[in-house]
Amino acid sequence: MRLGEGGMDYIEGVVKRMASKHILHLEFYGDNSKRLTGEHETSKREVFTYGVGHRGASCRIPTSTAAEKKGYIEDRRPASDMDPYVVTALLADTTLLDESLSGPLVEAYRTWREWRLNTHIEM
């Protein structure tokens, strides 16, 4: 993307790959129940959207990226309480790999989260 190889076709392909795993990603993106409402420059939780310069989209393609046909994209869905390592791994898996390798990570994280929700830890 940053080198411009493939131009906007490549960038839109990456975004469409993200759209295909929208629901899976949201599971790991933290508590967005009050944030992703479709108001105040956020997208609705239920629908993946993208657009050039669109600050209310799930994924924003900056106008400079579209103009130069290279650059970066912004995934605007992760909440502040997400695990950055898990989210980065999922994004890399979705956007860079032809065949997903995230299955073990997804299952391990789900198991940990279930344990954490059901275990009382005294502080």
User: All domains of the chain, ordered by start, with CATH?
Assistant: 7-118 (3.30.590.10)
Contact 52, 15 (CB under 8 A): no
**In whole angstroms, what is the distance from residue 86 CA to residue 108 CA?**
11
- The per-residue pLDDT for 5 is 81
Contact 24, 90 (CB under 8 A): yes
Per-residue pLDDT for 18 more than 70?
yes
Of 73, 75, 76, 105, the residue nearest 89 (C-alpha): 105
Per-residue pLDDT for 22 more than 80?
yes
Confidence of residue 120 (pLDDT cuts 50, 70, 90): confident
Q: Cβ neighbours of residue 65 under 8 Å, at least 6 residues apart?
A: 1, 11, 52, 71, 72, 73
Give residue-wise pLDDT tens across range 43-85. Answer: 767 789 899 998 888 899 999 999 999 999 998 888 888 999 9
- The per-residue pLDDT for 15 is 94
Q: What are the structure tokens assigned to 29, written together? A: 């993106």
Chain-centre distance of CA 46, in angstroms?
13
pTM assigned to the model: 0.82
How many Cα atoms occupy the beta-carbon half-sphere of 87 within 13 Å? Answer: 16
